[in-house]
Amino acid sequence: MTAPVLTPAVSPAQSEPPQPPRSARPAGRRIRSLSPRLRVQRTILTVTIVLIVIVQVYPLVWLFLTSFRTASDFAGGNAFALPSEWTLDNYARAFATGNLWLNIVNSLIVTLGASVLIVVAGMMAAYALEVLGFRFSGLVKALFLLGIIVPVQIALVPLFIDYSQIGLLDTHMSMIIPLAAFALPMSIYLFSSFYEYIPREMYEAASIDGAGPYRIFGQITFPLSANTIITVVLVNSIFIWNDFIFANTFVLSDGLKTIPLGLQNYIGAMGNTDWTATFAAVCVTVTPLLLVFLVLNKAMINGLESGATKG
Amino acid sequence: MFTTKRRRAFLAAAATAAAAALVLTGCAGGASSADPTDVDPEGEIVPREISWLLSRPADGGVITAMEQIADEYAEEHPGFALNLVTTPDRPSYIQKYETLAAANKLPELFDTDATPFAQKLAGQGRMVDVDLLLDDLGLADEYREAALNYQRFDDGSLYMVPFEFQLEFFWYNKALLADAGVEVPATLDDFPAMCEALRAKGITPIALDGQDQWPLERYMAYYPFRMAGPEYVQQLKNGDASFADPAGKAAAEWLYELGQAGCFQEGFSSTGYADAQALFTSGKAAVYNIGTWELSNLATDALDPAVRDDVDYFTLPTIDGAVTNDNEYVTPSGIGMAVNAQTYDPLVRDFLAFALERYPEVYAATGALSPTTNVETTIPDNATELYTRAVEQANDVGPKIAMPWDTQLDPATNTRLQQELTLLVQGDITPDEFIETMDAALAENVNG
Amino acid sequence: MADTVTTAGVGAAEPRSPRRARPMSTSMLPRRSKLSVLVFLVPPLLLYGVAVLLPILQSLFLSVFRWDGITDMVFVGFDNYVKMLTRDDVFWTAFGNALGYLAICLVLQLGGALIVASLLTALPRARELVKTVYLLPAIISTVAIAILFQRIYSLEPVGLLNQILAWVGLENLQNAWLSDVNTVLAAVSIPEGWRFTGLYMLIIYAALIAVPKELEEAARLDGASWWQVFWRIRFPYIRPVWITTTIMATTFALRGFDIPYLLTNGGPGQASELLTTYMYKTAFVHTDYGYASAISVFIVVECLVAVGIIFLLLRRRDDS
């Protein structure tokens, strides 16, 4: 009932002129000479930002440093000091205790699988809703958008029961399906808001050339979606890579455990935890995503920025 | 908004989905064709892979021993494999096992405590009767009585096999107690005074792992166990007793006093297992309540030399007019292993016959206490004198067991109890409020 | 099925903006078959229906039963809802906490994001670096974050936060943050706020830099203060993005689960219990699937209402 209300969320943007291309950002601010007052302001600004960044990042630095501490250094140690003695034992124990590589592979499979589904299904639905259109498209879109606000927890009990009936429990698919389905509304929302901006004239021109809906999708809509695809994939990858709740509910065997579950392995009997080894494991498991993130950082930020301003 | 036609279509769809749900969920409430008393089924032994869903430390004694035994068995029976799926974190494990049970997907072997949930499973004939099984295998007399009793339901039936035997002690630091001029508490009522004396010296009296809930819940069980015996909690969970009864009231007041006397370290409710233990082993805390599964950390040269010679233990103190003996306290045989009746076949039986026979010897060699009496625990080379003493103490345990309440109460009441206990000890609520809340929760959950 | 449907828009030859044409015509394409709509629509609808819609219906259904998963289901009518609304004090505590959690997350994520994004637009260099670094926490698993923050808040042994307090001479403020019923809700909300500030900051930053510079320059020449420029020019310009991010942040916060669950499991007492953790416990610890389903139905309703409210609030201001 409330979901249709969502759609006008974009309407204020509609009355505005299209965003100028990013390259048109006025340059030259740096060239102007700065007055002393401005210079002081700049310094304060820079210091503030540096402080904020430190607050934001220090916990991660600390995590990294701790993974090289000895257990006793950690237990009694000073959080700001460098490790009194650097050790790689934590990493050795991390690999010995858990099955980190397997966890990483599982997380990759789930993330890739769900991402493909999210993108393909999201584009198809948005294309049907925005471009092809049909009588009740508003209703169907509202139904999809409803999913943005449905908490994932509601699916746990029913899906568990359904999976056990059809033998899907404890498979990669059991994680991929709900992860993709719950990300789908946001994906449809992003693709739809983007498709609204593709001018109707482009489609009409293609139609005159004799292209049907499939060819238009393949030749116009899909290629134009590249930026949005990147946004959808990268944002969702973060959530999927780190999903705990579905994995914890549907995965039973060690062979299928993803990274978050793998990390739970380090909690021993009765809650005993080998902290330094756990921190080492965290560092190892963060690495793949971190690398992808650093490599695609630019694309992701651009995608997010353009996706967001269009949305 | 809806046209009549569309509304009808929607309702039809909803009804279909609901019916589907009914079918799906209805199936799960399992009707079983297996006979839980048929412990020696006929047929040929066909080796295959069987699974054991368990909640024990991944590199711990039980798993190491069972892996070795499974390998030995597989040599004789090519094609056999034992797939051990462990979830050491107990709350996660319980969630997993209970949902698997709901989905009717439990493997051949699975761990469970003697909880009300497990009793329901047994009542549906989904678990093999272990009394009959052990008799049939000729092993029943080998087990410690206390180890089997720990696994029994209230009606005396037995559906789980114990794999451990543990004694829970109060470990203490002699030097710190001497420092504060206090003796080992003779009764539970001596605890507050001991704590205050230690606090006055700047020593943390008792190290407590509050994050995992069960350690504090043990303290709740102590006073009623001494005052009213093990029956109190059994009556409590059936609604035949209440927290307002003398035993419950005494327990609440005692815990409140402990909190007021500053017995536990500040912020205990967010202190984890390892941190609590570190408080004790680093000589900052004077007392630490933990079981013999920690012998290898507390009674060997793994213990910090600075405190090694000062560490000793005492067992659960008594109270004036106690109805249980000094040698009766918390002596669990660990989470038990249940045998799924629906997948029980000649192979499972044959493997269990082999494994349970072989297990005590392999397990005792790791320095742990076997649930049976037919083997001697190997004392490790690096053990301190305490190790031997603790192992011998196992032979002097009385018949009554202080059951951990978390395995006794229904889960909803148990959750509430754990939450309210923390508040009680932190002084956020009074004993009277505690009793009122708990009795209301009990009434809702037992009858509801 | 392959018949071609021509929409009303085709006849009119004059080009229209897609937006204005929308109420009249359903399709942007002059020709499309019903089949093609089905081909594109059915697979996503199937995925969504199976994993999202069906479970909601199943939950509605389960919520009028009492069921522990293994014994027979018992029909109890609306008793689960009655219990939830009248007899269960934990439910109301959890509801209150969920609102507190939401408030803290929103302040951190949106307020923090807006401030940092605004500062960033004035930063002369290294913006890309700051953006990258700021997003880092978002890629770390909540399990790892919970582990990390447990150490940060810890008092015994002294954790990062308490060490910082000691370091700046505020020893008397040291606290066991996760054990104190007064601080624990904030303590479990902050990590959730912290990890996604970067994401929202990026979105808002992108909207801010799209604000035409000429408008701001003109206002400044007219003597507008920094605040006036921000409030009169920038904020109205980014309002659509602001609404989107508010809805995203709200719904994410209302279904927040991992960090409170892993960090305190709702404790001490029920001081950090959220509706989601309570529902999860009810289902998977208490095996009370019927009651848990009733709670999850409530969570869905709560999210719908929250989004409705946001909308009303932000829309009305927009109209005035």
Whole-number Cα distances in Å, C143 to A269, B13, C135, C139? 18, 39, 18, 12
Determine whether the interchain pair C58/B21 forms a contact, defined as Cβ–Cβ distance below 8 Å: yes
Indicate if the pLDDT at residue B278 is higher than 80. yes
Q: Scanning the structure block, which residue is given the tokens 């353009």?
A: A306
Q: Specify the residue for token string 């769809």.
A: B13
Residue type for position A155 = A
Is the predicted pLDDT of residue B447 greater than 70, yes or no?
no
Judged by a CB distance cut-off of 8 A, whether residue C283 touches chain A is yes
Region B164-187: what's the mean pLDDT? 95
Residue B166's nearest CA partner among B407, B378, B390 is B390
pLDDT interval class at B326 (50, 70, 90) = very high
By percentage, how much of chain C surpasses pLDDT 90? 24
Residue C222 is encoded by which pair of tokens? 């007219």
Give the residue-averaged pLDDT of B400-418. Answer: 92
Candidates C142, C207, C297; nearest CB to A308: C207
Residues 6+ apart with CB under 8 A from A127: A191, A195, A217, A221, C40
Q: A271 and B293: CB-CB below 8 Å?
A: no
**Chain segment A23-55, per-residue pLDDT in tens:** 444 444 444 556 777 778 778 888 888 888 888
Check whether A300 has a pLDDT greater than 80. Answer: no
Q: Is the pLDDT of residue B7 over 60?
A: no
Lowest-pLDDT range, A261-275, B197-211, C144-158?
A261-275
- Give me the residue from C156, C270, C286 closest to B279, CB to CB: C156
Kindly report whether the global pTM for this prediction surpasses the value 0.95: no
pLDDT confidence of residue A80: 62
Q: What is the pLDDT of residue A270?
A: 46
Q: Are strands B109-112 and B168-173 parallel, antiparallel or unpaired?
A: unpaired
Q: Would the pLDDT of A259 be above 60? A: yes
- Contact between residue B412 and residue B441 where contact means Cβ atoms under 8 Å apart: yes
CB pair distance less than 8 Å for B211 and A271: yes
What's the pLDDT tens digit per position in A201-212?
888 888 888 888
User: What percentage of chain A has pLDDT greater than the value 70?
Assistant: 80
Mean pLDDT of C112-133: 83
pLDDT for A20 beyond 70: no
Q: Is C131 on the interface with A (CB under 8 A)?
A: yes
| DSSP secondary structure string for all residues of chain C | --PEEEPHHHH--S---HHHHTTT-S-SSSEEEHHHHHHHHHHHHHHHIIIIIHHHHHHHHHTTEE--SSS--EE-TTHHHHIIIII-HHHHHHHHHHHHHHHHHHIIIIIHHHHHHHHHHH--S-HHHHHHHHHGGGGS-HHHHHHHHHHHH-TTTT-HHHHHHHHTT-GGG---TTT-TTTHHHHHHHHHHHHHHHHHHHHHHHHHHTS-HHHHHHHHHTT--HHHIIIIIIHHHHHHHHHHHHHHHHHHHHT--HHHHHHTTT-STTTT--HHHHHHHHHHTS--HHHHHHHHHHHHHHHHHHHHHHHHHHHHHHH-
Q: DSSP for C8-57?
A: HHHH--S---HHHHTTT-S-SSSEEEHHHHHHHHHHHHHHHIIIIIHHHH
Comparing CB atoms, the residue among B17, B120, B418 nearest residue C70 is B120
Between CA B115 and CA C68 the distance in angstroms is: 14
Which of B51, B99, B303 is most worth mutating to test chain A (most A CB atoms within 10 A of its CB)? B99
A203 - beta bridge partners? none
Question: What is the separation, in whole angstroms, between the first and last Cα of chain B?
Answer: 40
Interface test with B, best of A165, A166, A261, A263 (most B CBs within 10 A): A165
In percent, the amount of chain C with pLDDT more than 70 equals 89
Q: What is the ipTM of this complex?
A: 0.80
Residue with tokens 């979830």: B87
Mean pLDDT over all residues of chain B?
88
Instruction: Decide if B39 contacts B136 (C-beta within 8 A).
Output: yes
Looking at B82-91, B160-169, B414-423, C41-50, which range is the least confident one? B82-91
pLDDT category of residue C217 using cuts at 50, 70 and 90: confident
Q: Does B297 touch chain A (CB under 8 A)?
A: no
B237 touches B219 (CB < 8 A): no
Smallest CA-to-CA distance from C258 within A2, A246, B292, A211 is with A246
Among candidates A53, A131, A157 on the partner chain, residue whose Cβ is nearest the Cβ of C28: A131
Subunits touching B (CB < 8 Å, at least 3 pairs)?
A, C
DSSP three-state, residue B160:
strand
What average pLDDT does chain C have? 82
**Average pLDDT score over residue span A147-155:** 80
Whether residue C52 and residue A150 make contact (CB cut-off 8 A), yes or no, is yes
* Confidence category of residue B448, pLDDT binned at 50, 70, 90: low
3 state DSSP class of A19: coil
- φ and ψ of B170, to 5 deg: -95, 105
The verdict on a CB contact (< 8 Å) between A56 and C284 is no
Cis peptide before C55 (omega within 30 of 0): no
Confidence band of A224 (pLDDT split at 50, 70, 90): confident
pLDDT band at B321 (very low <50, low <70, confident <90, very high): very high
- Is the pLDDT at A302 greater than 80, yes or no? no
Q: Which residue has the higher pLDDT, A184 or C11?
A: A184
Q: Which of B105, B164, B294, B296 to mutate to test the interface with A (most CBs of A within 10 A)?
A: B105
